[in-house]
Amino acid sequence: MRGGLWQLGQSITRRLGQSDKKTIARRCYASEADLKKTVLYDFHVAHGGKMVPFAGWSMPIQYKDSIMESTLNCRENGSLFDVSHMCGLSLKGKDSVAFLEKLVVADVAGLAPGTGSLTVFTNEKGGAIDDSVITKVTDDHIYLVVNAGCRDKDLAHIEEHMKAFKAKGGDVGWHIYDERSLLALQGPLAGPTLQYLTKEDLSKMYFGEFRIIDINGSKCFLTRTGYTGEDGFEISVPSENAVDLAKAILEKSEGKVRLTGLGARDSLRLEAGLCLYGNDMEQHITPVEAGLTWAIGKRRRAEGGFLGAEVILKQIADGPAIRRVGLFSAGPPARSHSEIQNESGESIGEVTSGGFSPCLKKNIAMGYVKSGLHKPGTKVKIAIRGKTYEGSITKMPFVATKYYKPT
């Protein structure tokens, strides 16, 4: 759900399918000089990071480990990702909740202070502008993180509606945290490793919770969340302290938590069945079609009040025309835009993300098919480079999630 498909250098694109290369060409900047760098750029290079263009930034695709090795190590031990290219911001003011509820499907008012949820920004047709993790810090303060590739359109969208809201007397303002960096610590050792660096009892902090605490000597925004299906945290840290925090995390784990790039991040999120905006979600796909009906609060279903509510609530009542599904397949891994066919060879949909699962040692993918043909166990064929291969629809996640929750 978070970020975008990795943008690889020439040496790595040779491993990818044609659809991936087209995605890269579409999203890469024309010149290396145009790319922005996070404060951890030199740290990545010093640790063997292979830097590639991604959403306008120079980011590590992998380090000395292969993408398969990095994926497995995250599930077995832990990974540290630099996700500072993503955009963190706060909405503040007594009407900040009411304002945000006009733009997203979540029941923001119903969140307890210090808790958050995945949500979707929608347009007038019910399509997804972006997905985001939002947190109600207090009743008049909302913290959220939006995807790097959607930053410009998201901020323009929020600003446009904020101006209209404030013109009618609404009390809301915002702050964009360009002075902060964002690290994602994921895997079984995430909690034990981070505990060395804070006095806060992390065993009492559950999935989806948010706190502002001291970590390694600096004031951080800590959310127990992530994009891998594993337990973990996203840490918003003042940029001047980001490198020291990364070093401390790696040192305290005694080498078991490793720096991990965007290649393994994509494998991990696919195994967890999580949407990738720009592939599995776009402006013509609604949250209902994407299988995110659960993110639409019960009160919001009853009251509406968000952009595209009429379309979305009708789909909840009547069912959508298409649905997102998981897929297993034979042959080469399915890639974005591979056609999905029924057993008679008729087109019923297309793949949006796919690859080889390092954990399952088999091909996995997700995509959209016509409603009624989406049930697990349904046999399909997937067309790849002019040939069709046997496949079947399956439940997601492909790899069981391990989010930290009360026992």
H and E: helices and strands count for the chain: 11, 19
Cβ contact 150:277 at 8 Å: yes
Cα separation of 339 and 356, whole Å? Answer: 18
- Among residues 62, 156, 69, 141, which one has the least CA distance to residue 100? 141
Cβ contact 340:382 at 8 Å: yes
The β-bridge partners of 220 are: 213
In sequence order, which residues have a C-beta less than 8 Å from that of residue 259 and are 6 or more positions away?
A: 44, 47, 49, 60, 63, 79, 80, 246, 250
Which uninterrupted H or E stretch holds 259? strand 257-259
Phi, psi for 384 (deg, rounded to 5): -135, 115
Q: Within 58-178, where are the H helices?
A: 67-76, 96-100, 151-167
- Among residues 338, 362, 364, which one has the least CA distance to residue 352? 338
Give the pLDDT of residue 31.
Answer: 64
Cα separation of 100 and 261, whole Å? Answer: 32
Phi, psi for 20 (deg, rounded to 5): -65, -40
CA end-to-end distance (rounded Å), the chain: 26
- Among residues 29, 38, 174, 168, which one has the least CA distance to residue 96? 174
Give the pLDDT of residue 5.
Answer: 39
What does the radius of gyration of the chain's CA atoms come to, in whole angstroms? 21
Does 234 show up as a binding residue in the annotation?
yes
Cα separation of 305 and 324, whole Å? Answer: 25
395: how many CB neighbours lie within 10 A of its CB?
11
Give the pLDDT of residue 140.
Answer: 98
pLDDT in tens, 228-244: 999 999 999 999 999 99
Give the pLDDT of residue 33.
Answer: 76
| Amino acid, single-letter form, for residue 349 | G
- Along the 407 residues of the chain, how does pLDDT read in single tens digits? 444 433 333 233 333 343 443 444 444 444 677 899 999 999 999 999 999 999 999 999 999 999 999 999 999 999 999 999 999 999 999 999 999 999 999 999 999 999 999 999 999 999 999 999 999 999 999 999 999 999 999 999 999 999 999 999 999 999 999 999 999 999 999 999 999 999 999 999 999 999 999 999 999 999 999 999 999 999 999 999 999 999 999 999 999 999 999 999 999 999 999 999 999 999 999 999 999 999 999 999 999 999 999 999 999 999 999 999 999 999 999 999 999 999 999 999 999 999 999 999 999 999 999 999 999 999 999 999 999 999 999 999 999 999 998 77
310: how many CB neighbours lie within 10 A of its CB?
12
* Burial class of residue 243, CB neighbours in 10 A (0-12, 13-18, 19+): middle
Provide the token pair at 264: 């393994």
pTM for the full model?
0.92
